[in-house]
Structure 1
């Protein structure tokens, strides 16, 4: 009888412990809070713009307030959208300094939250989609009046390797030609993965087209070569 009582008592303790864990988890005590939903998917990078912390965007209107958090160091920057760009959110230099880790030009693990009560804008809102007004393969000479598949500025990540790009709207394998209209230099790249920009060049591709000391190409044409 003593052995049976011990077994019954042990089973009772186990049930109570399980109930406590379940209740604690339900209240958010026994586990971490669920990850916040980000309104911008992909990496976050920056332009060389100066001034107070701010951002540009291809899908949020001017005046939208966003909070960008780097999940690798838990540092955040609250910014206001001041104009258009080729990214869901493109930080200026001051905002990037608030959140980045030393020597890194891109934030891969991030959360972007909209603070003004609005929901997430749809990707490509007001921006040309692939095949919908985008440059046709081989249409015109680089920069020769061709319609750009990615309105807005073009910037880059710190990725090395052969010239390449990432994109939030073109599938892996898509070939793009990016032309800097300020110097008429072009680079042809293949999309290798997703990012938070219509086209985000890697460091090698950017070096082929940018002007010295500039981290963003404002006047550009992006053509789909397929």
Structure 2
């Protein structure tokens, strides 16, 4: 009789535990991963700029509202796109600080969600969103005050991810093995790099490549040219 009661009690406890897990999962306690698929692929990094949490983008137009979630710690931050860049989404300092792991400058496991409906495309010339390649730094400025430079295969700012080794880059546009040269137009410094993997940027430098061309204290190169070497 005692043995039967123990079996009944154990079965009751198991059923109750399963019910708790089922309820917890339904309420979002047991699984913190966002259910919506990401509108960007690859790692998310940042550029050193102050102000409230915001982002730049080479895919979404100014004013687009996004939410970026770090899947390693469950932290999310809503941002508004304030300008173009070479990344699908590039966070500013405040946005990155809101979701980053201590000591890390890149969020590899992430979900980027669009919080507003996309606007209809503009039919007029020059309308619509800024896309990679739509603004090239190859022409001289009005008045002839600045000489022409080679056209760039990427548009927007260039930044980096904190990874060691020889100068290299990741890219969301060029396959592994592609050789590129990145030039900082503010100081004339260039660095040749080889693409070693995918990212959410047209070109995303590693630490050594960024150190070769950056201005002191800056983590982003706004005026740049990216050339295809092969």
TM-score range, shorter chain: 0.7 to 0.9
Distance 2:61 2:197 in 1: 27
Residue 205 of structure 1 corresponds to 209
Residue 92 of structure 1 corresponds to 92
Unaligned runs of 5+ residues in structure 2 are 1-14, 120-128, 139-146
TM normalised by structure 1 equals 0.77
Alpha-carbon distance, 1:118 to partner: 3.0
Residue 81 of structure 1 corresponds to 81
Tell me the secondary structure at the aligned position of residue 82 of structure 2. Answer: strand
Judged with a 3 Å threshold, the aligned counterparts in structure 2 of structure 1 residues 35 and 48 are, in CA distance, closer, same or farther, namely same
Tell me the secondary structure at the aligned position of residue 113 of structure 2. Answer: strand
Tell me the secondary structure at the aligned position of residue 217 of structure 2. Answer: coil
Unaligned runs of 5+ residues in structure 1 are 1-16, 136-142
Distance 1:159 1:144 in 2: 33
Runs (4 or more) in structure 1 with deviation over 3 Å come to 31-35
Alignment check: 8 A CA contact 2:61 2:130 kept: no
TM normalised by structure 2 equals 0.75
Judged with a 3 Å threshold, the aligned counterparts in structure 2 of structure 1 residues 104 and 82 are, in CA distance, closer, same or farther, namely same
Tell me the secondary structure at the aligned position of residue 208 of structure 2. Answer: helix
Specify which of 166, 170, 175 is matched with residue 170 of structure 2: 166
2:225 pairs with 1:221: yes
Tell me the secondary structure at the aligned position of residue 74 of structure 1. Answer: coil
Specify which of 178, 200, 209 is matched with residue 196 of structure 1: 200
2:44 pairs with 1:44: yes
Judged with a 3 Å threshold, the aligned counterparts in structure 2 of structure 1 residues 96 and 81 are, in CA distance, closer, same or farther, namely same
Distance 2:88 2:35 in 1: 20
Alpha-carbon distance, 1:34 to partner: 7.6
Tell me the secondary structure at the aligned position of residue 97 of structure 1. Answer: helix
After superposition, the CA RMSD in angstroms is 2.9
Q: Name which of structure 1's ranges 144-153 and 165-174 shifts more when overlaid on structure 2.
A: 144-153
Higher strand share: 1
Q: Once the two structures are superposed, what CA deviation does each residue of 1:67-99 show, in whole Å capped at 9, x if it has no partner? A: 000000000110000000111000000111100
Alpha-carbon distance, 1:127 to partner: 1.6
Residue 106 of structure 2 corresponds to 106
2:58 pairs with 1:54: no
Judged with a 3 Å threshold, the aligned counterparts in structure 2 of structure 1 residues 211 and 71 are, in CA distance, closer, same or farther, namely same
User: How many corresponding residue pairs?
Assistant: 190
Distance 2:148 2:229 in 1: 15
